[in-house]
Amino acid sequence: MTDAICYRDSYADRITATVVATEPGESERGPLVVLDRTVFYPGGGGQPADRGTFLRAADGRTWTVRAARKEGDEIVHELEPAEAEPPRPGDRLEVDLDWARRHLLMRTHTALHALCGVVWRDYGAQVTGGNMEPGTARMDFEFERMNGDLVDAIEATVNAELERGREIRVNVLPRAEAFAIPDLIRTKVNLLPPGISEIRTVEIVGLDLQADGGTHVASTSEVGRIRVTGYESKGRINKRIRIALAGSLQG
Ligand SMILES: [Zn+2]
């Protein structure tokens, strides 16, 4: 079982860890490495997995990590396919995230939750899906009456909420307790597999509360401002809103 540090400390970007297991690469896929602990986010909930590097202090050898994913209780790191010789079990590695990219993803993810919170509070529209890249994101809502004027108002309201410096709190609750929170029902917590005994929640205090596995910034003021870059109909009821962080590369 990997100690997955990202779920309790999203700001941890570098640690020392020990290699537990490896698997050679095959054709398209690079070698796989499992560590006793890691700061890598394995992807999920619309947030892409982290990238970064491993450094073996003993001989100065480095590897590029192109992705990570969750497999059971483990986080598996995938090296670049060109890395023929992965580290060996027992090796001590310095594990280093691409922090600029991760921090941008954290700001983007928190921005999405702020959007979600505003659209729910002010219009009662539920989220049906979402996805993000560093600095840009989209979210789909059951939002029949969405139009251009509403979208402008939403952008202004989200920015006002972000500016208020609302705190973001992460909690892990027993399943029964989480199910008792009415707000969580709208994020379809009831669709979670029955085997899960604990539910992690992410709260933008005073604005939004969701069952969520992602990494977030500590305060909405760290997000900065967002722009709505587009909106479209995905059917009579389903509508999509696209956002970008102001000042981000893609924004
Ligand atoms: Zn989320």
Query: From the CA of 56, how far away is ligand 1's center (Å)?
Result: 34
Query: From the CA of 83, how far away is ligand 1's center (Å)?
Result: 33
Query: From the CA of 49, how far away is ligand 1's center (Å)?
Result: 13
Query: From the CA of 24, how far away is ligand 1's center (Å)?
Result: 33
pLDDT of res. 250: 47
Query: From the CA of 27, how far away is ligand 1's center (Å)?
Result: 33
Q: What b/e readout covers 82-104, taking b as 16+ CB neighbours within 10 angstroms?
A: ebeebbeeebebebbbbbebbbb
| Contact indicator for 2, 95 with CB cutoff of 8 Å | no
pLDDT of res. 251: 39
| Contact indicator for 231, 146 with CB cutoff of 8 Å | yes
| Contact indicator for 141, 241 with CB cutoff of 8 Å | yes
Residue 205 phi, psi (nearest 5)? -55, 125
- Per-residue pLDDT of 151-206, as tens digits, reads 999 999 999 999 999 999 999 999 888 888 877 756 555 566 677 788 899 999 99
Query: From the CA of 43, how far away is ligand 1's center (Å)?
Result: 11
Query: From the CA of 215, how far away is ligand 1's center (Å)?
Result: 8
- Per-residue pLDDT of 123-138, as tens digits, reads 999 998 899 999 999 9
Rounded to the nearest 10 degrees, how much is the dihedral formed by the CA atoms of 57, 60, 43, 180? 10
Nearest to 13 by CA among 5, 23, 2: 5
- DSSP assignment of 136-151: EEEEEEE-TT--HHHH
Query: From the CA of 129, how far away is ligand 1's center (Å)?
Result: 10
Query: From the CA of 111, how far away is ligand 1's center (Å)?
Result: 9
Query: From the CA of 212, how far away is ligand 1's center (Å)?
Result: 5
Residue 168, beta-bridge partner list: 204
Query: From the CA of 191, how far away is ligand 1's center (Å)?
Result: 15
Query: From the CA of 13, how far away is ligand 1's center (Å)?
Result: 20
The two tokens of residue 136 are 């840009």
Residue with tokens 């705190």: 167
Query: From the CA of 115, how far away is ligand 1's center (Å)?
Result: 11
pLDDT of res. 178: 84
Query: From the CA of 214, how far away is ligand 1's center (Å)?
Result: 6
pLDDT of res. 189: 52
Query: From the CA of 187, how far away is ligand 1's center (Å)?
Result: 10
Residue 203, beta-bridge partner list: 169, 209
Query: From the CA of 235, how far away is ligand 1's center (Å)?
Result: 23
| Contact indicator for 129, 139 with CB cutoff of 8 Å | yes
Per-residue confidence in pLDDT tens, the chain, 251 aa? 999 999 999 999 999 999 999 999 998 899 999 999 999 999 998 999 999 999 999 999 999 999 999 999 999 999 998 887 999 999 999 999 999 999 999 999 999 999 999 999 999 999 988 999 999 999 999 999 999 899 999 999 999 999 999 999 999 999 888 888 877 756 555 566 677 788 899 999 999 999 899 999 999 999 999 999 999 999 899 999 999 999 764 43
73: amino acid identity, one letter: D
Query: From the CA of 44, how far away is ligand 1's center (Å)?
Result: 9
Nearest to 2 by CA among 58, 54, 60, 72: 72
Nearest to 93 by CA among 63, 67, 122: 63
Query: From the CA of 46, how far away is ligand 1's center (Å)?
Result: 7
